[in-house]
Amino acid sequence: MSPRALFLVLSLVTATAHAARPEIVMGVLASRGVEEAEADWQPIVDDLSAATGQNVRLVALKTEQELLSEFGQNHIQIARLGTQAALTSVEQKQGQIFARLALTGGVSEFRSVLLTRKDGPASLDDVLREPRHWRYATGTKDSTANYLIPQYYAFAKNNVLVTQFFSQISNGPSEDNFRALVERRADVASINSDDLEKLHDKYPRDYQQLRVIWESPAFSYDPLIMRKDLAPAMQQKVSQFFLNYGRKGANATHEKEKLYYADELSGFLPSSNRQLREVTDLQLFYALFQLALDKNSSATASAQKEKALYRRYNDLVVVLGGAR
Q: pLDDT digit string (tens) for 213-255? A: 999 999 988 899 999 999 999 999 999 999 999 998 889 999 9
Confidence of residue 89 (pLDDT cuts 50, 70, 90): very high
Percent of the chain with pLDDT over 70: 93
Main-chain dihedrals φ then ψ at residue 142, nearest 5 degrees:
-90, 5
Per-residue confidence (pLDDT) for residue 15, from 0 to 100: 43
Give the mean pLDDT of the chain. 89
pTM of the model: 0.76
pLDDT for 85 beyond 50: yes
Per-residue confidence (pLDDT) for residue 1, from 0 to 100: 52
pLDDT for 72 beyond 60: yes
Burial 287-308 (b: 16+ CB within 10 A, else e): bebbeeeeeeeeeeeeeebeee
The residues near 33 (Cβ < 8 Å, ≥ 6 apart) are 175
Per-residue confidence (pLDDT) for residue 103, from 0 to 100: 86
Per-residue confidence (pLDDT) for residue 7, from 0 to 100: 45
Q: Which of 158, 261, 145, 132 is nearest to 201 (CA)?
A: 261
Per-residue confidence (pLDDT) for residue 2, from 0 to 100: 52
pLDDT for 114 beyond 90: yes
pLDDT for 206 beyond 80: yes
* Coil, strand or helix at 12: helix
Alpha-carbon distance 84 to 64, whole Å? Answer: 9
How would you write 73-97 as a 3-class SS string? CCCCCEEECCHHHHHHHHHCCCEEE
pLDDT for 21 beyond 70: no
Main-chain dihedrals φ then ψ at residue 168, nearest 5 degrees:
-155, 140
pLDDT tens track for 295-322? 777 888 889 999 999 999 999 998 898 7
**Comparison of pLDDT for 28 and 264, the residue scoring more:** 28
Alpha-carbon distance 174 to 112, whole Å? Answer: 11
Q: Which of 160, 171, 144, 12 is nearest to 88 (CA)?
A: 144
Confidence of residue 29 (pLDDT cuts 50, 70, 90): confident
- Mean pLDDT, range 3-24, rounded to an integer: 51
